[in-house]
Structure 1
Amino acid sequence: MMSRKWERIYFGLAIMIMILIFISSSMTYHQQTVTPELGRLNLNWLHRWLDPVKINYAGNIYSVETEGLVGMIEFLLRKLAHFGSNFLLGLFAYWGFTSKVPNKWFRAVLIWLSCTGYAAFDEFHQLLTGDRTPMIQDVMLDATGALCGVIIATIVMIILEAKANKKKLLAAK
């Protein structure tokens, strides 16, 4: 079982991720863009891998042809940030609520739904921020990231519980 200390740490990390997501959605696109920095790097070696990639996202086709190499890289980084931050949010929140919601399956559903709600709130927040476009596809991407985080957290907990039970059985013999 997880100690209360680690639960508090994971809960704190989940809150930190939520704050970072909120700050990020408070920024305009121009405040967040990394295209100038990417443009200064020699990324031509990525052409070989990214040239054949075409992604249909929110009714638009994203590719090196349509966005340019730097634009395509930034698009991929932005979507990876959506998925990754919500993956961590789901993971940390699941572990942070171990003793508060002891049933692992109910906790998994509760955390995933909460993360999905927060993703929807985040997109609404972007609606209030200038130069930002809220998209239902981003909510779906965020929800998928959170679901993956919750699934991994659940699997890790099941493995740790099985190891602890095996250790108890061996000690009892």
Structure 2
Amino acid sequence: MRERYKFILFYLVPLIGWMGLIYYSSSQTFEEQTVEPVLLDVNLSYIHSYFGWVSFYYGDTLVSLETRSPAEFVEFFIRKGAHVVTFAFLGILSYRLFSYFLKHVTSSSLLAVIFVAMYSTFDEYRQFLNPGRSGMVEDVILNCVGGVLGITLWINITKWVEKKRKQIPTT
């Protein structure tokens, strides 16, 4: 019975809670989430000199300082960075859940990546249906990259911790 509560409290609740936060965040419009007003109060004069050369398409939109103000440009990277970090945590939490049952790194990793991809697809589809948002295939890819980075980081950290534990002499 104690093992069941441990599973629920330490594995299931964090994953479902994180999924709920993503769901809530995706339900907000761009205007509700924008950090541009805060960035307008920050001195971004250096952005042109360091990042004036940056120019690429994300979806069908050109991202550059020629098409965006410095605040909009910085916000774009903050928002996309948030995708990576958010789904890195989702990857970690889902990997932890799968590895609780499977005890096999490869199987747990693969299932976690599939889970992240499916939840990301679901999330972007929901945004596509929301009038104040847009769902993008590019965001699904970015979310999956975040998930893979999170899973990889978690596996390496846990291996490192395990290695250090084995090196500590027991008295």
The TM tier, using the shorter chain, reads: 0.7 to 0.9
2:84 corresponding residue in structure 1? 83
Q: CA deviation at 1:87?
A: 0.8
Structure-2-length-normalised TM-score: 0.85
Range with greater deviation from structure 2 (75-84 or 31-40): 31-40
Q: 1:1-173 residue pairs with structure 2 within 5 A?
A: 8-9=9-10, 11-164=12-165
State the AA in 1 paired with 2:55: K
Q: Which runs of 4+ in 1 moved over 6 A?
A: none
Q: CA deviation at 1:90?
A: 0.8
Secondary structure at the aligned position of 2:135 is classed as: coil
Q: CA deviation at 1:102?
A: 1.1
Q: CA deviation at 1:7?
A: 8.8
Distance 1:157 1:142 in 2: 22
* CA deviations over 1:53-102 (Å, ceiling 9, x no partner): 22321132201111111110111111011111001111232234432221
Judged with a 3 Å threshold, the aligned counterparts in structure 2 of structure 1 residues 5 and 166 are, in CA distance, closer, same or farther, namely farther
Secondary structure at the aligned position of 2:102 is classed as: coil
In structure 1, list runs of 5 or more residues that go unmatched.
none
Q: CA deviation at 1:144?
A: 0.5
Q: CA deviation at 1:8?
A: 4.1
State the AA in 2 paired with 1:9: F
Q: CA deviation at 1:158?
A: 2.8
State the AA in 2 paired with 1:124: Y
Distance 1:94 1:7 in 2: 15
Secondary structure at the aligned position of 1:52 is classed as: coil
Judged with a 3 Å threshold, the aligned counterparts in structure 2 of structure 1 residues 166 and 5 are, in CA distance, closer, same or farther, namely farther
- Percent identity for Structure 1 against Structure 2: 29
- Contact 1:8-1:96 within 8 A present in 2 as well: no
Range with greater deviation from structure 2 (80-89 or 53-62): 53-62
- Contact 2:26-2:127 within 8 A present in 1 as well: yes
Structure-1-length-normalised TM-score: 0.84
Give the superposed CA RMSD.
2.4
Secondary structure at the aligned position of 2:99 is classed as: coil
State the AA in 1 paired with 2:14: L
Secondary structure at the aligned position of 1:61 is classed as: strand
Judged with a 3 Å threshold, the aligned counterparts in structure 2 of structure 1 residues 165 and 6 are, in CA distance, closer, same or farther, namely farther
Distance 2:163 2:84 in 1: 29
State the AA in 2 paired with 1:102: K
Q: CA deviation at 1:130?
A: 1.3
